[in-house]
């Protein structure tokens, strides 16, 4: 297995890094919910090719709650940035069901326009854009009671130009694309990582089950199939953020195991790097939340916050860190 290297020690206004994207200029864009210190505003930062970090903007607050916590991010075709605002992740009662999807239009370093695409969401998490739609994972749906009593989660599909969609977090929501039930009783947390392959197939990670599903579509965008594609409990414990390389390999942040896992186009699951409980200062995987492929590099944001019996991580430390791996052929 590879030994991860240190990519960055992040500035002290970042306590929890999470989702990433690459802009038109080749900058790495990092979403920082800052859940570890709620006195820090959630922000979006730019990391240039020399690894210089610059705060781009603070995430616009929800006027109902005076709060915002960004997780997944994705650029639209017009370079507007779509942001998953998951305030409910904080566990604060008044912030439950206050999640939003925002569309932010920037003019340089100034916010020009903010559009609320959807609101009232329980636990929105990951986002990807393809064609005229965005696809958003919602990791918990506690209002939906299943026969087994186990957790349901879902994927929503919204049009890029839709606005002010009111989400009920029930099966009545017409924007639900697919639903999933997490079977693992020890980790009742649902769909999280989400990514498209080059052919337009959608891959969705069920976090608690350490399982990846493949969704295929017909020409009209209807779901043709939604099937389990890859799962290996010995190699993959949980599925957070996901990213493809140009060879068709899928890289997954195994949040629970402090590991990065590769799945080949044939569905072979193999752990390529793993760290013990650590502070990440030497590049160790300190609860990896998302990988992103840039050329031959795999850059990993380290969430470093959650601690329970299913996690290797035992404590949060500052400074927040990012790790670096390389693609091996």
Of 8, 112, 12, 114, the closest CA to residue 68 belongs to 114
Output b/e per residue, 23-46; b: 16+ Cβ within 10 A.
eeeebbbbbbbbbbeeebbbbbbb
Q: How many domains does the chain have?
A: 1
Q: What is the CATH number of the domain that holds 307?
A: 2.120.10.30
Tens-binned pLDDT, residue by residue, of the chain (329 aa) = 999 999 999 999 999 999 999 999 999 999 999 999 999 999 999 999 999 999 999 999 999 999 999 999 999 999 999 999 999 999 999 999 999 999 999 999 999 999 999 999 999 999 999 999 999 999 999 999 999 999 999 999 999 999 999 999 999 999 999 999 999 999 999 999 999 999 999 999 999 999 999 999 999 999 999 999 999 999 999 999 999 999 999 999 999 999 999 999 999 999 999 999 999 999 999 999 999 999 999 999 999 999 999 999 999 999 999 999 999 87
Domain of residue 239 covers 5-326
């Amino acid at each position: 297995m590879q030994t991860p290297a240190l990519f960055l020690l992040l500035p002290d206004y970042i306590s929890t890094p999470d989702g990433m994207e690459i802009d038109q200029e080749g900058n790495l864009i990092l979403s920082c919910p800052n859940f570890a210190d709620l006195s820090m505003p959630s922000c979006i930062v730019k990391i240039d090719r020399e690894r210089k970090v610059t705060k781009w903007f603070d995430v616009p607050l929800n006027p109902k709650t005076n709060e915002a916590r960004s997780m997944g991010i994705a650029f639209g075709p017009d370079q507007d940035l779509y942001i998953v605002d998951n305030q409910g992740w904080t566990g604060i009662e008044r912030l439950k069901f206050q999640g939003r999807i925002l569309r932010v239009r920037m003019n340089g370093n100034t916010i020009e326009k903010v559009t609320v695409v959807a609101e009232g969401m329980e636990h929105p998490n990951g986002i990807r854009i393809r064609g005229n739609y965005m696809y958003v994972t919602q990791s918990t749906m506690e209002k939906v009671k299943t026969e087994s009593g186990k957790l349901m989660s879902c994927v929503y599909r919204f049009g890029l130009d839709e606005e002010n969609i009111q989400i009920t977090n029930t099966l009545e929501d017409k924007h639900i694309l697919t639903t999933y039930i997490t079977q693992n009783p020890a980790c009742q947390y649902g769909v999280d990582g989400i990514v498209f392959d080059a052919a337009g197939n959608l891959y969705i990670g069920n976090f608690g089950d350490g399982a990846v599903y493949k969704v295929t579509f017909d020409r009209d965008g209807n779901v043709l199939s939604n099937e389990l594609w890859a799962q290996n409990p010995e190699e993959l414990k949980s599925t957070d953020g996901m990213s493809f390389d140009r060879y068709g390999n899928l890289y997954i942040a195994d949040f629970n195991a402090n590991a990065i896992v590769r799945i080949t186009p044939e569905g072979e699951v193999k752990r390529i790097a793993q760290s013990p409980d650590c502070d990440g200062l030497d590049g160790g995987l300190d609860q990896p939340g998302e990988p992103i492929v840039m050329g031959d590099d795999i850059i990993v944001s380290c969430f470093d916050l959650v601690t329970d019996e299913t996690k290797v991580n035992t404590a949060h430390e500052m400074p927040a860190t990012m790790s670096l791996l390389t693609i091996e052929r």
